[in-house]
Amino acid sequence: MKRILLMVLRNIFLVPFAWFRLCYRAGHVDKYPEEDMYAFLRWIDLHANRGGNVRIDVHGEENIPEKDGFMFFPNHQGLYDVLAIIEACPRPFSVVAKKEVANVPFLKQVFACVKAYMIDRDDVRQAMQVIINVSNEVKKGRNYLIFAEGTRSKNGNKIGTFKGGSFKAATKAKCPIVPVALIDSFKPFDTNTIRPVTVQVHFMEPILYEDYKNMKTTEVAALVQERIQKRIDENI
């Protein structure tokens, strides 16, 4: 919470204007093209990061597919994860997030702006409908991000188990899967400090449908988990 306060204080003259614009856009998402909305979110994100002593160290941007209609699968370290990837990624994407964070201030407005899906893990029917909707949108050229662990690992740079069900939307859409390794992304919001911190974002080589079409979703999950953990271990 100290870092969030620092972000606000160092942008004190910008915050009222930015917050008003963010809330307005969150309530009128159909008025703005996706690229324009994403550029606006990156603008806010950049100012917040600079004010909060957070530096984003980006690796592998060339691995982001040139053609839209792909899915990011990062490890999940904390509430800051999406904000790290927004600054790191020049291409618009949306998010599938658990309903428990649907009403967290600021994240709520960001999720609204990217037209995110909130998934209820206790409602199988609702979760399946989200998978179908995301799959259809990816086929049409939207990009999505899903945290395959389902919840924060709470073990720093040691990731949790990736769940096979998280990859069903990708297998249905037959789209490229882009593993994303986050390193130290838990530090900005999940540690009680305002010291400068660097968050590493590694976009890894995509796994194409031709490479995973004969694999079970649990096997795909294990493969992505292994690659991400290996990248983390190589860079800490």
- As to burial, measured by CB atoms within 10 angstroms (0-12 exposed, 13-18 middle, 19+ buried), residue 50 is middle
Low-confidence ranges of the chain (pLDDT < 70): none
Tell me the backbone φ, ψ of residue 105, rounded to 5 degrees.
-55, 145
What pLDDT sits at residue 99? Answer: 85
Using the structure block, give the residue that is written with the tokens 């699968």: 73
pLDDT of residue 67: 96
Rounded to the nearest 5 degrees, what angle is found at the Cα of 229, between the Cα atoms of 225 and 235? 150
**Residues 71, 175: contact at Cβ < 8 Å?**
yes
CB atoms within 10 A of CB 200: 21
- CA 125 from centre of chain: 24
Give residue 64's pLDDT: 98
Looking at residue 150, its pLDDT comes to: 82
Please tell me the predicted confidence (pLDDT) of residue 192: 86
Q: State the Rg of the chain over Cα.
A: 17
pLDDT, position 107: 85
pLDDT of residue 154: 79
pLDDT of residue 121: 79
pLDDT confidence of residue 100: 82
- The residue whose two tokens read 């909060």 is 52
Q: Do 220 and 164 form a contact (C-beta atoms < 8 A)?
A: yes
Distances (CA, A) of 193 to 117, 142, 169: 31, 36, 37
Three-class secondary structure assignment of 187-230: HHHHCCCCCCEEEEEEECCCECHHHHCCCCHHHHHHHHHHHHHH
Nearest of 60, 80, 68 to residue 204 by alpha carbon: 60
- Half-sphere exposure in the Cβ direction for 173 (13 Å, CA): 28
